[in-house]
Amino acid sequence: MTYPPHAGAGQPPHEGRPAPWQPAGAPQAWGTPSFPAGPVPHHHHLPHGYGLPARPAVPVPYKDGTAAWLFWFFLGGFGAHHFYLGRTGWGVAYAVGFVLSWLTTVVLIGFLGLLAFVVLWVVDATRMSRRLQDCNARIHAVNRSLGLA
């Protein structure tokens, strides 16, 4: 099924007549910009407060030790405790490695990966308190730099 061509098919839009964003009395040729070339005059400043990022109203919250330990215990294989403590790279590595280890258990090699994750899970338990302190120290530094600590 073919459709009849619409009016102006094959021609640039708005040829010979002003485009909707142009003033009615100023038709321009196709391809000619309708804005002035050159630097913007200084009187075109944004109103006060625009263009600057807003300062947070509340300080960044500290990480809770109980939540970190629960993430480690129940979702440690997926790296949830690393994500929670801001160690995103390690969290992604744990999640991908854990899933790949489970998928390769079909050919028995995945059990080696799961054994490695059990060892890493225990090592993470020995380092959890220090990592939590480091994370909260970084948060305190951010809050202090924003004048909120």
Q: DSSP assignment of 60-103, as one string?
A: PPPPPHHHHHHHHHHHGGGTHHHHHTT-HHHHHHHHHHHHHHHH
**Cβ contacts of residue 93 below 8 Å, gap of 6+?**
79
Burial class (CB in 10 A: 0-12, 13-18, 19+), 104: middle
Please state the domain extents for the chain.
65-145
**Whether the predicted model's global pTM rises above the 0.85 cut:** no
Cα separation, 23 vs 36, whole angstroms: 14
pLDDT tens track, the chain, 149 positions? 555 555 555 555 555 555 555 555 555 555 555 555 555 555 555 556 566 566 656 889 999 999 999 999 999 999 999 999 999 999 999 999 999 999 999 989 999 999 999 999 999 999 999 999 999 999 999 999 988 87
